[in-house]
Amino acid sequence: MPDQHTDKKPSEAEVEILQILWEKQPCSVHAVHEEIARFKSVGYTTILKQLQRMLAKGLVVRSKGKGKSYDYSASETAHATQSKLLGQLLKSAFRGDVNELVMHALGDSKTSSEDLDAIKAFISQIEGNANEGNTNTGESS
């Protein structure tokens, strides 16, 4: 049986909670419930149970809050979690083919010209970094 602390893949509902925590942490169960209730009907005890499961999985950390309550924070940054999820998606759904992933992402969505400009700039930056790495022989100047 795999160690529950090494398998930190969050469910869709857990990602919703993590998004709230990344933006507003630390948060009480009440604060998380209030935020989710703005767009989805869900009970307080459901959120409490999800946070307890997330704590057991190592997705969140808990600290003493006001009174008898606890505050929760994400155990990893949004970037770290997103990178792990994307890596898992790339490996499982695209068999590691980055080109296929990017083609699906750009082809299946409504990509704005601003998004395309940002993507082009990012690609240019990556190409520049790759070229610098190729010209760097490891000798000091």
**Tens-digit pLDDT profile for residues 55-95:** 999 999 999 989 999 999 999 999 999 999 999 999 999 99
Q: Which helix (H) or strand (E) segment is 62 a member of?
A: strand 60-64
pLDDT at 1 over 50: no
The total number of structural domains that make up the chain: 2
Domain of residue 121, residue span: 78-135
Asked if 84 and 13 touch (Cβ cutoff 8 Å), the reply is no
Q: Is 84 found in the same domain as 57? A: no
Q: Is 92 found in the same domain as 49? A: no
4: in domain: no
Q: What is the CA radius of gyration of the chain?
A: 20
- CB under 8 Å to 87, separation ≥6 — which residues? none
pTM comes to: 0.77
Q: Is 70 found in the same domain as 83? A: no
**Tens-digit pLDDT profile for residues 9-47:** 899 999 999 999 999 999 999 999 999 999 999 999 999
Q: What CATH number has the domain bearing residue 38?
A: 1.10.10.10
